[in-house]
Amino acid sequence: MNKESTLLPCIAVESLTGCAGELLVILENLDKLLPFVRVASFPFAQTANDDGPVDIAFVEGSVSNPHDLEKLKKIRSKSRWLVAVGNCAVWGCVQGGACAKCKVSDMLAAVYGSDSQIEVLESKPLSDHVAVDVKLSGCPINTTQFLSVTASLLKDHLPYITHKPVCLECKLNENPCVLIEKNLPCLGPVTAAGCGALCPSMGAACYGCWGPCQDPQMDAMATILHEKGYDPIDVINRLKSFGAPDHLFQRMSFQYNQETQA
Amino acid sequence: MAQSFVFSKADFDSFFRVLQSLGEVSAPIRVSDQSFAFKQINDPREIAWDALRTILPPKKFFYPPKETLLTYKDGQIEESVSDNKFQVIFGVHPCDLHGLGIMDTIFEAGPADTHYLQKRNHSLIVGLSCMPDKFCFCQSMGTSCATRGYDLFLTDLDDDFFLQVETPAGSAVLPQLPMLRPAEDADKERYKDYWLRREKAFTNGFAPDNLRATMDMEWNNSLWDDLGKRCLSCGNCTPVCPTCYCFDLVDIASLSDDEGSRVREWDSCQFVGFAQVAGDYNFRPSPVDRLKFWYRHKLHGFDDAFASRTCVGCGRCTVSCPAGIDDLVQVVKTLQGQKEGKE
Ligand code: SF4
Ligand code: SF4
Ligand code: SF4
Ligand code: SF4
């Protein structure tokens, strides 16, 4: 470890309920960070961790049980910047999407039996429970975005994170549009960019893993997918898979909401 | 200038090799069942001769989708300079040549954009004739004949090419082209015949005379709401447009102290953040506002500043809009009061 490490800004990398995808991305890039930070806590990657205050805490995963919540509150209280990393932490991801569709007690009973002692909460993003300073979505997060967010925070600058749709990156790559040419249910128009339009660049439909872009036009998206022959319920399920919050669907036309609730 | 020559298509390979001796040659190639793109090629057999519109227009060669404008390190700012690599862009149709002409006007207007101009000045543009499909409407926009934006122009005369030379840069290549013979009267007849046939080949378009007045008068037409409701705000309509030039500027910090870069990337007026200003005020908050703005800018707005419209009738937006609401011709006809139409 660097000799002057006590003078370096401290970071913590913590995890709630998630797949550890973000932790792996951060681990892979740790060599780039190490000259500039001291890693006070990263239980996934090192054995000696301390609980002292940190400049930046990167938190992966959603809040899905009381233990997550307790841990998150502790992290919040010791961190200057709290950065939610990954779709789970920013939007709630598939577990959040599932909770938007089914009651959490029903899911618990179906998976662990009705006499299960497991304590669960409805899976939610970090900002539903504590103040979050920076939200960096991804599934997993993009290395370039992660490094530039870290660089900005180390200088106490507000990081730039794009909220434009995947379509922009897709067109900038000059991809043929799979929504138009192959009638695939591409969610690029309503999904935040950052991945570099990974899926459409490989000829596949974007399934929205980065979470919603700024002001996503869910109604128009649903209408167009419906016109292409997709079932309204499938359309709504697809749109809700990656934790897009309810309020984005509230202004949708009556037809879809009614059919989903049926 | 405007000298004209003829050469046999059998000599196209040698013609292409001469272009290649000048620099990297890019031409339209097929990239999917329905789409083409300008890509660097080494073999003339890669050229998709039937390509009418590429996904992105040739503006991308001089105004790249993403470009580092400057880097800074230890208090020193260094502006990026082009590597001055010479580029030949082959197979540019009249609409796109007009598009380049409009981009030239915009980027030359003071303060001139050196990043664009450096690359533009190290290029040779070879135009190519085309027969319109059902989406082309350059005729309505007055951009169906090449008048600017190119150095050489080829017209397809069955077994031959008719070559027009427009600029000194184009003339400079002539000594290397022994296959050329000066155009004779019979060739000129064939040339005129081609362009007459082409003028009659258009099936898409509108009467443009009252376009400006129509766009002014119909600002509150309910059509805009109907279209805007379907708009995804995906922004596909703007990167594909040969004359959309808006960009975003981002400073990218580096982990080490006092080092970073400034990058510009194409932006779109169709994104909600585009017109968002301090205080969280947005002067074009809804897709309807943004779509209407875009239509006006393409069909009317720019003539306030530059006395020209910015739509060159290439049809790219029409085919690239997943919502099917960028059928400019249909929209104009509807606004003009013509009832018949697709919908
Ligand atoms: S393929 Fe998907 S992401 Fe790409 S332009 Fe089409 S809709 Fe947008
Ligand atoms: S294209 Fe969509 S689904 Fe694919 S990686 Fe990007 S955000 Fe995720
Ligand atoms: S507005 Fe549409 S048709 Fe007109 S030049 Fe732009 S892309 Fe082409
Ligand atoms: S007009 Fe079409 S291409 Fe443009 S933003 Fe709207 S849906 Fe996308």
Note the pLDDT tens digit of each residue in A173-186.
999 999 999 999 99
- B131 in the same domain as B230: no
Range of the domain at A250: 166-261
What confidence category does residue A6 fall into, taking pLDDT thresholds of 50, 70 and 90? low
- B287 in the same domain as B195: no
- B16 in the same domain as B144: yes
- A173 in the same domain as A111: no
Residue B236 lies in a domain: yes
Least confident of A208-212, A256-260, B75-79, B260-264: A256-260
What confidence category does residue B196 fall into, taking pLDDT thresholds of 50, 70 and 90? very high
Interface of B with A in 31-50 (CB under 8 A): 31-35, 37
Residue A161 lies in a domain: no
Instruction: Tell me if chain A has a CB within 8 Å of the CB of B246.
Output: no
- A84 in the same domain as A56: yes
Residue A7 lies in a domain: yes
What pLDDT score was predicted for residue A255? 60
Q: Phi first, then psi: what are they for B205, rounded to 5°? A: 150, 180
What confidence category does residue B342 fall into, taking pLDDT thresholds of 50, 70 and 90? very low
Across B219-245, average pLDDT: 96
In chain B, % of residues over pLDDT 90: 87
In chain A, % of residues over pLDDT 70: 94
- B288 in the same domain as B160: no
Distance between CA atoms of residues A237 and A219, nearest Å: 13
Residue B260 lies in a domain: no
What pLDDT score was predicted for residue B165? 96
- B157 in the same domain as B135: yes
**C-beta atoms of A174 and B234 within 8 A:** no
Distance between CA atoms of residues A34 and A23, nearest Å: 15
What confidence category does residue B307 fall into, taking pLDDT thresholds of 50, 70 and 90? low
Residue in chain A lying closest to B33 (CA): A181
Residues of B in contact with A150 (CB under 8 A): 255
Residue A64 lies in a domain: yes
Torsion of CA B59, B64, B65, B66, to 10 degrees: -170
What pLDDT score was predicted for residue A102? 87
- A176 in the same domain as A63: no
What confidence category does residue A42 fall into, taking pLDDT thresholds of 50, 70 and 90? very high
- B218 in the same domain as B196: no
What pLDDT score was predicted for residue B83? 85
Q: Which of A154, A184, A217 is the last residue of a domain?
A: A154
Range of the domain at B59: 3-65+82-200
What confidence category does residue B169 fall into, taking pLDDT thresholds of 50, 70 and 90? very high
- B194 in the same domain as B315: no
- A21 in the same domain as A104: yes
Instruction: Please count the structural domains in chain A.
Output: 2
Q: Is the pLDDT of residue A170 over 70?
A: yes
Least confident of B66-70, B135-139, B144-148, B331-335: B144-148
Residue B9 lies in a domain: yes
Cβ atoms of A59 and A85 within 8 Å: the answer is yes
DSSP label of A98: H
- B112 in the same domain as B215: no
Across B210-222, average pLDDT: 92
- B215 in the same domain as B196: no
Q: What is the mean pLDDT of chain A?
A: 92
Q: Which of B140, B175, B200 is the last residue of a domain?
A: B200
- A119 in the same domain as A47: yes
**C-beta atoms of A181 and B255 within 8 A:** no
Residue A196 lies in a domain: yes
Beta bridge partners of B89: B26, B125
Q: Could you tell which of B224, B225, B231, B241 is best to mutate to test the pocket of ligand 4, judged by most ligand atoms within 8 Å of the CB? A: B231
- A234 in the same domain as A133: no
Residue B205 lies in a domain: no
> Which CATH number is A25's domain given?
3.40.50.700
- B224 in the same domain as B108: no
Cβ atoms of A93 and A66 within 8 Å: the answer is no
What are the DSSP calls for B212-252, one per residue? HHHHHHGGG-THHHHHHHH-----TTTTTSTT---EEEEEE
Q: Which of A154, A178, A208 is the last residue of a domain?
A: A154
- B230 in the same domain as B155: no
- A218 in the same domain as A186: yes
What residues contact residue B31 under an 8 Å CB cut-off, 6+ apart? A174, A176, B37, B39, B55
Q: Could you tell me if the CB of B232 is within 6 A of ligand 4?
A: yes
Q: How far apart are the first and last CA of chain A?
A: 59
What pLDDT score was predicted for residue A3? 46
Residue B250 lies in a domain: no
For B249, counting Cβ atoms within 10 Å of its Cβ (0-12 exposed, 13-18 middle, 19+ buried), the class is exposed
What tokens were used for A125? 């993003």
Residue A159 lies in a domain: no
- A84 in the same domain as A139: yes
Residue A250 has a CB neighbour count (10 Å cut-off) of: 9
- B296 in the same domain as B168: no
Residue A96 lies in a domain: yes
Distance between CA atoms of residues B38 and B61, nearest Å: 9
**C-beta atoms of B322 and A177 within 8 A:** yes
Q: Is the pLDDT of residue B5 over 70?
A: yes
**Is B201 in a helix, a strand, or coil?**
coil
Least confident of A129-133, B87-91, B335-339: B335-339
What pLDDT score was predicted for residue B17? 98
Instruction: Please count the structural domains in chain B.
Output: 2
What confidence category does residue A254 fall into, taking pLDDT thresholds of 50, 70 and 90? very low
More confident residue, B230 or A251: B230
- A73 in the same domain as A43: yes
Model ipTM value: 0.95
- A245 in the same domain as A192: yes
Q: Is the pLDDT of residue B38 over 60?
A: yes
Report H helices in B161-222.
Answer: 168-173, 185-200, 211-217
For A257, counting Cβ atoms within 10 Å of its Cβ (0-12 exposed, 13-18 middle, 19+ buried), the class is middle
**C-beta atoms of B236 and A172 within 8 A:** no
Which of B320, B318, B321, B319 is closest to B330 using CA atoms? B318
Residue in chain A lying closest to B38 (CA): A174
What confidence category does residue B167 fall into, taking pLDDT thresholds of 50, 70 and 90? very high
Q: Which of A113, A128, A154 is the last residue of a domain?
A: A154
Least confident of A2-6, A52-56, A78-82, A188-192: A2-6
Q: Could you tell which of A145, A168, A184, A195 is best to mutate to test the pocket of ligand 2, judged by most ligand atoms within 8 Å of the CB? A: A195
What pLDDT score was predicted for residue B2? 75
What's the A175 CA to ligand 1 centre distance in angstroms? 8
What tokens were used for B10? 């059998």
- A186 in the same domain as A95: no
- A131 in the same domain as A47: yes
What confidence category does residue B304 fall into, taking pLDDT thresholds of 50, 70 and 90? low
What's the A183 CA to ligand 2 centre distance in angstroms? 17
What pLDDT score was predicted for residue B97? 97
Residue B108 lies in a domain: yes
Residue A160 lies in a domain: no
Q: Is the pLDDT of residue A253 over 80?
A: no
Q: Could you tell me if the CB of B332 is within 6 A of ligand 3?
A: no
